[in-house]
Structure 1
């Protein structure tokens, strides 16, 4: 009978070790990389721990048994680290990534391992003796140092339990199966207490069985639920899990608060329970407007595939409150509409009387010479320039058009062809391929070219090329340059040092910002004097 009991003990620990090894083949199905690493480490350490316990029982000599038991103590201590790493990663914390925490943990681990390995020399950690109950085996007598280390390990493990239970409790998802699975890891502690205080069962480290059961249970039984809880815990939004047939599989508490019809709707089609959400999933617009608490609120609906291993088993629908963002978007839309109306007024209502005035001045100048008429004509020309600048600025205030792959050299030549600068020199130093709204980039270049000609004179040399680090491009000239204390001011609307409108460089900055780029003025690099404009933040095709 004792032989059967002995064989049963060896088998239990051996099967646990083999189950952990088998579980390693399933770890790759865990999507989060940190959680995947933590779970793999948990399987390796708990599997090694269980294998060491099996070896402690089955190996023939005392020396080998002691060596196996010492190895089990080391694996057991390492399991605490793997457990905390896993719990931190799974619950979305960052303790496992903190360099200081990792260095301290490694230092403590190595120090305790040194004490355990050298136990045959100092004998402070444990002693052994042969006993016959409940079967013939080598019993271990643990000393105070062992219980200090063990108590610390249990306290640290409790921190991991706290992380898990906090996550499982706050998601609102049905976490009872996982709660049971987590609880299983603590059951072997009772066996440890019985083994240490009585001779009914041998004094072994039974915790490896509980940890192995948890890791294997997660991978082979509850992987989809395990990952669903992690996903739901990562967000404070309403979450609905659907099957492949778009039927409700589960929901979190936030979803049930937002949509009370979800309560008890498991297995029903989403379109029947919350048609507003189902319509957004099937339509082009992803924002739904709902009346909640007497207030109109806006929610963005998004869905991502949900898989079990490599098999898609449904999708996770997340409903996010975007009321403030939607109000801001609508305000911008209204501003753009008003800007368009303003541009229309400028284009028609102002330009028509301006054309009449310019025509009458020209007719009168044909009849007689007058410095007053000449001044009036110049003023009317300047008004025309201002109107052109305001119209362009209004157009650039809108979103940029569709982006396409463009060539810097080709756009530079196109822009230069529209600039009246017959005596100036245009040099393209290099090319750069990137994605942009080609028409807007040409406008940007035209404004910078005209700025160079206006300030550098008719025979100015203008160069364009890619920045050395590939982050954008530059346009520079060999004119008088821009004083350092003015290089930040020149992009302000209306700023000018000549008779210009002061809108050209504002338009340049507006076009760059619409693309997500930045523009800065500096000194020329290829001539003794001159201005250089660098446009950065460009994602080049290279």
Structure 2
């Protein structure tokens, strides 16, 4: 086969216009690839730069070898140039995937296993190509005169298998890029078109295979040349801006030197909807809190899906070559660390509070007990021991309440769906209510920790009985719009000037009270993320309103109404 090739009759002629068009197209592609190297070298991201430079070099050589294949004066030189193009052309797949992985923020290109597999596969295919003169399974060659005199290459099954694999891998890279484009809000239409042009040569490859009027060669180097010119000479800034905003999972906003918004990713848009259609607007006017956080180095608190999340805000300058383009503003999610810090501060606060209570409230009955024991020893009068027992009982109550206060203030990890009516009835059986009356206006389904909610209700019921009298009537029911529930009694109520003090540890108006019952209630409310307010009801008694952020109400127990279907109301927890 090779002997026949080397004895091809006439040198290839170069006077036909179509032939000149091919020379110009591939020649221009080679020049464009090599001319783009200087611009590619200015890309700041190292891996992206390496991948694109390698892609330009291999594609430029591929186009150059195509020119040699067309313009060489003898058939054997044409054969040699075509073989060189086959080897170099296959190698472009590696740099393309390397570039796509690096540009989209992935690390696949650094994986040693993938690198070794790629090199092994490449060398295996190259070996098949180099040995083609002996087995002829990859392609055959013969001189033809149509559409102009040249060495016709007829590809075999091995060629199409290798080409199918190469194009499949190239599509993987295209998918990476399109996924990145979908993550940013920037107008990526020019880049979608440019990436599409890298795939357009596949159509020309098919045309060249089915039509004798076109050369059956790969046109991929032309697509790479167009892509390189587009991203490195026309859309350079946008090319780098998209890379900056896209790969991050955390919210990212890209601004120019004048703090105008240039781009942002979907994570930032989800957190700050005001960013939509805010391109070119000033950051401080769209999201002023971010601008403030950048200058004050403060932690930014945001509400997302009904809960607070915390972000540290930082910025880094970026440039292309020597030109400063702006800043990339990154919001790093530090919610777990910030919650831990807040919990630690709350624990320290409670510890300081407990220290004060122990040193003050426990010391008084302890001193009484010690003094009466000393007196009993000196006088032999056992009557003083009754006072000692009273003091020790007092200390026991204080210690129990202190432990409850410490336990109830801990954050709640899991909640359950709880019926308010059922829990109130259970609490009613656990508290000494004397002759008190219970009136449940309607049921409400809550997301709560059942044990802690029971402690809360028991303390409120006990508080109502202690301050409202043994025959007090206690009412429980949902607040308007099912935003929570209330517990109200018809006792004397709480003076307005003391309503803000009732939740303070140790505050009590009862001689026998410890002053921790309502403090424990407040701790449980806070641990759930709820809010509590104390006021006086229509009857003049104390009314505690606990807002839970919205729950599901069961109307079937509503007094004075016929049974109605259960109504569901889904509301984010506070």
TM band (smaller chain): 0.5 to 0.7
Q: Secondary structure at the match of 1:202?
A: coil
The CA deviation at 1:253 is 2.3
Instruction: Say which of 189, 210, 213 aligns to 2:202.
Output: 189
Q: Does residue 348 of structure 2 align to residue 328 of structure 1? A: no
Give 1:309's aligned residue.
321
Shift of 1:39: 1.2
- CA change 1:95–1:279 in 2 (3 A) is closer
Name which of structure 1's ranges 200-209 and 232-241 shifts more when overlaid on structure 2.
232-241
| CA–CA distance in structure 1, aligned partners of residues 323 and 99 of structure 2 | 24
In our comparison, the structure showing a higher alpha carbon Rg is 2
Distance 1:291 1:202, change over 3 A: closer
Mapped to 2, the partners of 1:303 and 1:262 lie a distance apart of: 18
Displacement of 1:185 in angstroms is 0.5
Whole-angstrom distance in 2 between the partners of 1:151 and 1:294: 49
**How do residues 414-453 of structure 1 correspond to structure 2 at under 5 angstroms?**
none
Q: Secondary structure at the residue paired with 1:300?
A: strand
Aligned pair partner of 2:268 in 252, 255, 258: 255
Between the two proteins, the alignment pairs up a number of residues equal to: 349
Check whether the contact 1:2–1:134 (CA below 8 A) recurs between aligned residues: no
User: Does structure 1 residue 24 correspond to structure 2 residue 56?
Assistant: no
Partner of 2:312: 300
Cα deviations across residues 66-112 of structure 1 (Å, max 9, x unaligned)?
10000110111101122222222223333322223222222221222
The Cα of 1:339 is off from its aligned counterpart by 7.1
Give the Å deviation of 1:198: 0.7
Determine helix, strand or coil for the equivalent of 2:73. Answer: coil
1-structure distance, mates of 2:292, 2:107: 38
* C-alpha RMSD over aligned residues: 2.8
- SS of 1:203 mapped into structure 2: coil
* Contact residue 38 and residue 83 of structure 1 kept, 8 A: yes
Deviation, structure 1 residue 291 = 4.2
Deviation at residue 293 of structure 1 after TM alignment? 5.1
Q: Per the alignment, do residues 71 and 246 of structure 1 end up closer, same or farther by CA in structure 2, a change over 3 Å counting?
A: same
List per-residue Cα deviations over 1:191-224 (Å, max 9, x = no partner). Answer: 1111111122222211111123223432223333
Q: CA deviation at 1:299?
A: 2.7
Residues 92 and 248 of structure 1: CA distance in aligned 2, closer, same or farther (over 3 Å):
closer
Gaps of 5+ in 2: 1-13, 360-574
Cα shift at 1:175: 2.4
Matches within 5 A, 1:269-288: 269-282=282-295, 284-288=296-300
- Counterpart Cα distance in 2 of 1:111 and 1:220: 37
- Name the structure 1 match of 2:74: 61
- Of 292-301 and 44-53, deviating more is 292-301
Find the partner of 1:319 among 325, 328, 331.
331
In 2 relative to 1, CA 312–343 (structure 1 residues): closer, same or farther, beyond 3 Å? farther
Measure, in 1, the Cα distance between the counterparts of 2:219 and 2:172.
20
Cα offset, 1:172, TM superposition:
4.2
Identify which of 218, 230, 251 aligns with 1:238. 251
Q: Which runs of 5+ in 1 are unaligned?
A: 348-542
1:130 aligns with 2:143: yes
**Equivalent residue in structure 2 for 1:151, among 160, 164, 169:** 164
Q: Any residues of structure 2 matched to 1:323-402 within 5 Å, and which?
A: 323-335=335-347
Residue in 1 that maps onto 2:511: none
| Structure-2 residue corresponding to 1:475 | none
How far 1:305 moved relative to its partner? 1.0
Q: Which residue of 2 aligns with 1:501?
A: none
Query: Which whole-Å CA distance do the structure 2 matches of 1:262 and 1:156 have between them?
Result: 36
Question: Distance between the aligned counterparts of 2:349 and 2:301, measured in 1?
Answer: 22
Give the TM-score, by structure 2 length.
0.56
- 1:168 maps to 181
TM-score, normalization: structure 1?
Answer: 0.59
Match of 2:217 among 198, 201, 204: 204
Can you list the C-alpha shifts for 1:245-295, whole angstroms capped at 9, x where unaligned? 11112222222222222211222211111111112222x233223444554
Q: Matches of 1:88 and 1:267 in 2, distance apart?
A: 29
> Is the 1:172–1:254 contact (alpha carbons within 8 Å) kept by the matching residues of 2?
no
Q: Secondary structure at the match of 1:102?
A: helix
Whole-angstrom distance in 1 between the partners of 2:303 and 2:137: 70
